[in-house]
Structures are given as structure tokens and as C-alpha cells.
Amino acid sequence: MDILNLITALPGAAAQGLIWGIMAIGVYITYKLLDLADLTVDGTMCTGGAVCIMMMLKGYPVGISLLVAFLAGVLAGLVTGVLHTTLGIPAILAGILSQLGLYSINLRIMDNKANQAINVDKYDLLISLRYIKNVPVYKNTILIVAVLLLILITILYWFFGTEIGSAIRATGSNPNMSRAQGINTDVTKILGLMLSNGIVAFASGLYAQYQGFADINAGRGAIVIGLAAVIIAEVIFGKIQSNFAFKLMFVALGGVIYYLVLQVVLWLGLNANDLKLISAVIVAVFLAIPHLNAKRKGGAPNA
């Protein structure tokens, strides 16, 4: 086990972690703020990349392609929200239905191909695996994603301080009290789902550029990675008293920690084919830590 191999791989793991950290912020909005289990993200994590890559292949600039990818995710979140609120389908089932439908839609977006590649030498990508090392600082993938992450956190910090954003947070905290205060909780749930999936799709557009291709299976298991980042942040940084912006930052750092842990585990010799199993084990470990700590201290563990 060569330590140099691990050190060489860490920048790439950090870059992936930051991208998935953006995705995890989308998951955080539904899982923590709205208290909804939304599985749509396994579909939109493919949709954003498919839309972004296909638009760039047709000659659109990267900024426009990422914007349309974000809007595609917003539309997917709208569908899930309507299924849940208007049609009364439980949130988890509504997400599964949207995810299932998105599989066919994603194939259509990619011209009925399971994979669409983009050449970093022919197209002006915003980020790429090849932009990790030996490139000008302003082009470095880690720096660019970090800047995008800070911009996103700033926007979300502002938005959730507005009346609409506060209504979304109130809906997740206490829907009955929110309704008593005149908040239309169906609308706020839909808005939260739209924003969440838009952010996930935006992260997907970045990730597809980073990899150099969009793949129909890109989103499979994405919810597990998103939840891993959220839970890692909660376990490691949960006792730190911080405002909303720092909580979002901690979630993003959770994504980085997840990928660094994953890289170390692979470096220790585990088979890369076991990535999904490793991911599940990592999430299970971090989920179990609060419960085991509560038992050790003699408190009542969470159900």
C-alpha cells in the first residue's frame, strides 16, 4: 500500500466531495428543513448531467447549460411536489414515481444512449478531472467548485431569511402551527422540493463535466451519498453552535469527508466493485454513532 498513491488521489477525492457536497445541500433542504424523504434525487442526479452535457454538445455555453440543468431539476421537484401535495401520495412514494419516470426521460435527453461523453479538449468545460493539477489557479477544479459552493450558500442564506424561505423552514419544523399562521404548507413543500432538486441537478451538471460524460446510472444511490454527507456533518459538527450558513457549509464538508474516507478505504485494499457496500457501511456507522453515544451515556437513544 503506497502512501504516495493515496496522497496523489486525495485532490480528486476532495473535488468530488465538494461537488457531492453541493448535492448534499439539496438533500439537506428536504431531509432536514422540510422533514421529507425525497428519493427524486436519484433521478435528478442523472437529469442535470444529461441536460448539461447534451446542451454543451449542441454548442451551448457551459453557463447556460448549467442553468437549464438546474431548471430541469426544478421541474422534476415540481412533479414530485404535486404528486405529494395535490394527489396525496406519500412523499417517499412520490419521489420513487418521479425517479422511475425520470429514467426514461433521461434516456430521451441523451438520444436513447446510456452514456454521452464530452471531450475536454474540444469543449470549454467549467471543471474537469484534468483540471485538478498542473493548471492555472483560476482554472483549478477544486477552487472553482469551492467558489460556486460559497456563492450557493450565500444565496440560500439570504433566501431562507426571506418570508418565503422562513415559511419553508417553519413548514418542516411544525406544519400544523404553520397552517394556523396562514402558511400554505402545500406550496412551501412544493417550493422546497423544487429548490432541492434544482440544486441536485446543478451538482449533477458539474459532476458530469468533472467525469467527462453523462451516464444513465449516474444517480443510482445518490441519496445515500447525500444522506451520508448530512449525517457526517451532524455527527462531527452537530455540537458546534452555528448559524444557518455554517450548517450548510458543514453539510458540504460532510461530502468531502465522505469521499476522503472512501478513498482511504479503497487505498487499504478493498475492491472498487464494493463501493456501494462501502457507502452503505459508512452511512450506517455514522447513523449509529449518536444512538450508541446516547446508550453509553445512559440516555434514551433515538428511535
Q: What is the pLDDT of residues 87-109, one digit of tens each?
A: 999 999 999 999 999 999 999 99
Say yes or no to pLDDT of 270 above 80.
Answer: no
Domains along the chain with CATH numbers: 3-296 (1.10.3470)
At a CB cut-off of 8 Å and minimum separation 6, what does 53 contact? 65, 110, 116, 118, 205, 208, 209, 213, 214
Q: How far is CA 245 from the centre of its chain?
A: 17
Is the dihedral angle over the CA atoms 46, 48, 53, 54 positive or is it negative? positive
pLDDT at position 303: 44
Q: What is the CA 197 to chain-centroid distance, rounded?
A: 8
Stated length of the chain: 303
Q: How confident is the model at residue 293 (pLDDT cuts 50, 70, 90)?
A: confident
CA distance 161 to 156: 8
Strands 115-117 and 213-215: antiparallel
- Phi and psi (nearest 5°) for 213? -165, 155
Mean pLDDT in residue range 61-84: 96
pLDDT band, very low/low/confident/very high, at 299 (cuts 50, 70, 90): low
Residue 290 has pLDDT above 80, yes or no: no
Q: What is the pTM of this model?
A: 0.91
Residues 6 or more apart whose Cβ sits within 8 Å of residue 194: 74, 75, 77, 78, 81
- State pLDDT tens for residues 25-67: 999 999 989 988 889 999 999 999 999 999 999 999 999 999 9
